[in-house]
Amino acid sequence: MTPADPRVLGGIEILGRLGKGGMGVVYAGRTDDDSLVAVKTLHIGGLEQSDLRERFERESTALGMVQGPGVAALVDSGQDADEIPWLALEYVPGLDLSTYLKRHDPLDEVTGTALGLVLANALTDIHTAGLLHRDLKPANVMLGPDGPKVVDFGLVAIGGAGGDLTHTNMRLGTPRFMAPEQFTAPTSVGVGADVYALGALLVFATSGQYLYGGTSPEALGFAAANPVIEPNLSGVPVGLSLLVAELLAFKPEDRPSLADVRAQLTEQLAAAHLSPAAARVRLAERTYVPGTGLTDEVPPAKRHAPVTRVETVGRSSTVGSEAGKRVGLAARTAERLRKAYARPAA
């Protein structure tokens, strides 16, 4: 913590820094009911502030729309123009998948299959909410004690193919995990791009290798957008190789639906005598690393009265902690959606 870091945001006590990225700082925080949260903030100022604030607002709105055990839940957010924009997420102790794979061997076939099913279920929940993630990668998968959870909706699209992208040819995503169409036709990207990213992630998780050599976005984009260049699937377990190859089909329409992916992965786990629930437990046991989260370091806070001040759209109210969070969050989300995505009157 530096003198410039906030000590409280929206009634959440800031405990320390978890990391810093291009958009802002991520803090560890504690709510009035002693729940630990990850608090993302946005840098204020700079030439790109308008675009960054729009992306931040989109992430907050999207997180309020999606629910599921494989997605880190939104707890609360604050978007006042006069304050630091912030959003508080469910805190997931443990390592992200990228860090885990730097310290441990790639996942075996059964564990990789379980990971694929959890992420396919998470993507299904995301798509059902009318969203595209567009940046599924190892660093955005947290390996918690209850199983993996997808985080970081900073590049999310709302509203189907192309979503709410500005009508430019801006390429959004992480090149090593981007589908060919994200390089060649970014304004028409659909759910197939998330399916492709799932395949690329499973290749890395089970083999420790990327699809293509090279490090520059240009080299990676050239390889991904060239149907003649085959992705490197060596090292992928035999039982997953065929499905992964289907996920990485060059044309989006040739990739399987998430429903088919989930069915195939469930069948493979059944052959290993594991139900989806048992597979998730096994996956958590294999990938969660204790001692890497705040739950092992931060002592319980002094108990406060179970009251939280909830900032709602256009007014403030003081209500019970849990109920207040839900009411305030629902009100803000509904208002954002009404303003940003409602069709204008004829």
The residues that are catalytic are: 135
Does residue 337 sit in helix, strand or coil? helix
Which of 146, 138, 41 is closest to 93 using CA atoms?
A: 146
Q: Please tell me the distance from the alpha carbon of residue 64 to that of residue 90, in angstroms, as a whole number.
A: 12
Structure tokens at 300: 């319980």
Q: Please tell me the distance from the alpha carbon of residue 122 to that of residue 16, in angstroms, as a whole number.
A: 29
Residues 6+ apart with CB under 8 A from 86: 9, 10, 39, 40, 41, 42, 77, 78
Structure tokens at 317: 């109210």
Query: 77 has which bridge partners?
Result: 87
DSSP output for 220-272: HHHHHT-TTSPP--TTS-HHHHHHHHHHT-SSGGGSPPHHHHHHHHHHHHHHT
With 0-12 / 13-18 / 19 or more C-beta atoms within 10 angstroms meaning exposed / middle / buried, residue 19 is exposed
